[in-house]
Structure 1
């Protein structure tokens, strides 16, 4: 929240339209096709390691290595990779915390590093492991401070707060000090704080980490509603790949600072050479099914057999042959687990 404090604390300083001081002069520049535009982005750090009793050797480490991608306005995109892949470094450059070593970067028509104060009015950030709320204050007071920092008009602030309180079920928690909240409650409180000033872009870093099933479902429903109703652009970084499956149609995968994949969730399965599974129930137990082109039996259990085939292939020809040549009772199709697909990509 340190960048937000630089904005100032004059009350109700934005215009009558309630836009929270957002500069619309660059509207033409942040066209929908390149609302977030990353081109050949690199970030190199100098690391000094002990090489003797009194000596240290400096080496260069490239955390981000020439990645390029673009997000349209209103997209919800999963940004994933293993630990050390460069995700956090990229997010820090997108928010203006770090300056790129080389490359071009624009967020909503703004250069994040050169125009940090202008950018902070247009983005919201939630870090799953860190809170932006005041530890000893009730949620209500924390939100009042956020309002002052962003100069949010009172009417707009109350409208946004009411929406978040309703959708995230925070009504009974507004007067509870942050230190007394559970992790799931605090996370919902942090998401609300990040949205009170109507950001165009929301960066979420592990927003469901450590949450129980009910809290995860509540947060996912809220993010889906936020994206559908307000058109907020969301970049989601997470190790919980079920978040990606529930929320995102597009995935950007990086590893060792390089872009591995950028496309649809379905295409990710093909790129990772994933396999779909056809579960076949026969009238009676039979030897493993063989001779079906492109398919192989991976498991049998009584009259039930599991057949694997490439994720990119159609199941229709396989089902047709099974129905014609075997005493078929029932079948079901299972998509490859995204965790297995990602693991194969990292391994490759």
Structure 2
């Protein structure tokens, strides 16, 4: 039987309204009687579902609508149109039965009391979520061991490093055993070691408890290590929903093949002969390729198409040219995402068509 989604969004939209004021004293006086209202569509009719235990990456450039979507799914914002259900509840109704089952961590905002130890925030959350003393102690013990918080609990938060604070933030949000966790750029500002540790903690917790996680991040390493599925949003609309491997296959136009010669090419003439041989193969190959790098020890070829095309090209070349090693390199996901964002159609999906209407006071 099909699994009931934990999160369902149908044609979800959010429009922000602001007022535009001309500069100068004249503009200020004029705005007392007439203001130009500007409507900006941050999210435009998106639809998707998330299954129980799924860890989904929600990706997009700045201003794409990621955080707005998360705020609607957690009930912080009301949508302009559409509907959403989280664990069967409408999130912006803010029902206690739902709030006890979800958590939101925002990398640029903190729920920890700055001048108090994290342990005091944990005690406060115990009362807010109405945890029994036994459940609280059991959960605190597990989270303290998992996030390695033994030496941090009783130190004022302002004296902790950014990575230590983020571990405490996560522990505070997981204390009440939520079913769904929303993470908005949790690794922002962290060093590489702290990022790696945080990813390990999240992966471990997800494996233990089958927690449903929706993650936004600008760090592609977070997504590659944690998420099997990604939802890409740009200009307020979803432009891709699927696996990372399919994303690369669909939007990465080339693969790189590195060939290491069986023996180093001894002189300039031999190198030129090898280069000409490769160019001849390129002209007759099923998939055209170009020489990206070439030296006496190896060459790197850029092949159009996916991994299958690269494999066939490598087999065709190694059948006639002796090599000691073949490496087919996966495309850089950050480069693919940047190209996807830049080539996504903006017509009708960005703020260029903002509704503008004069509003008299």
TM range (shorter): 0.7 to 0.9
Q: Which of 1, 21, 32 is the equivalent residue of 1:50?
A: 21
User: Root-mean-square deviation (CA), in Å?
Assistant: 1.7
Q: Which residue of 2 aligns with 1:231?
A: 210
The answer as to whether partners of 2:293 and 2:300 remain within 8 angstroms in 1 is yes
Name 1:66's counterpart in structure 2: 45
Aligned mates of 2:201, 2:70 — CA distance in 1: 22
State whether structure 2 residue 144 is matched by structure 1 residue 165: yes
Partner residue, 2:172: 193
Q: In the alignment, what sits opposite 2:275? A: 287
Match in the other structure for 2:231: 252
Q: Please state how far the C-alpha of 1:63 moved relative to its aligned partner.
A: 0.5
Q: Does 1:334 align with 2:312?
A: no
Higher helix proportion (structure 1 or 2): 2
1:269 is aligned to 248
Q: Deviations over 1:149-182 (max 9, x none)?
A: 1111222211211111111111111110111110
Q: Is contact 1:33–1:71 with CA below 8 Å preserved after alignment?
A: no
Structure 2 counterpart of 1:38: 9
Match of 2:189 among 210, 213, 230: 210
Tell me which of the two structures has the higher relative contact order, counting C-alpha pairs closer than 8 angstroms and 6 or more residues apart: 2
Secondary structure of 2:326's match?
A: strand
TM-score w.r.t. structure 2 length?
0.85
What is the CA-CA distance between 1:308 and the residue it aligns to? 2.0
Match of 1:118 among 97, 106, 111: 97
Distance in 1, matches of 2:169 and 2:238, equals 30
The residue number in structure 1 matching 2:135 is: 156
Structure 2 residue 319 is the aligned partner of structure 1 residue 318: no
Which residue of the other structure, out of 291, 300, 314, is the alignment partner of 1:306?
A: 300
Q: Is the 8 A contact 2:252 2:331 kept in 1?
A: no
1: CA distance between counterparts of 2:81 and 2:311? 49
2:74 aligned residue: 95
Matches of 1:257 and 1:149 in 2, distance apart? 34
The unaligned stretches of length 5 or more in structure 1 are: 1-30
Q: Displacement of 1:188 after TM fit? A: 0.2
Tell me the SS of whatever aligns to 2:169: helix
Report how far residue 311 of structure 1 moved: 5.3
2:160 corresponds to which residue? 181
In structure 1, C-alpha distance between the alignment counterparts of 2:171 and 2:314, rounded to whole Å: 48
Question: Structure 1 pair 274/248, CA: closer, same or farther in 2 (3 Å)?
Answer: farther
Matched residue SS, 2:183: strand
TM-score by length of 1: 0.88
What is the CA deviation profile of residues 12-31 of structure 1, one whole-angstrom value per residue up to 9, with x for unaligned ones?
A: xxxxxxxxxxxxxxxxxxx8
CA contact (8 A) 1:78 1:251 kept: yes
Work out the CA distance in 2 between the residues paired with 1:73 and 1:118. 18
Between the aligned partners of 1:306 and 1:107, the Cα distance in structure 2 is 48
Q: Distance in 1 between matches of 2:199 and 2:72?
A: 26
User: Structure 2: 5+ residue runs without aligned partners?
Assistant: 266-270, 344-361
- Cα offsets for 1:166-211 (capped at 9, x unmatched): 1111111111011111000000000000000010001111111111
**Contact 2:311-2:328 at 8 Å conserved across structures:** no
**Rg bigger for which structure?**
2
Aligned length: 319
Matches of 2:106 and 2:253, distance apart in 1: 31
Determine the structure 2 residue equivalent to 1:141: 120
Larger displacement relative to structure 2 (86-95 or 282-291) = 282-291
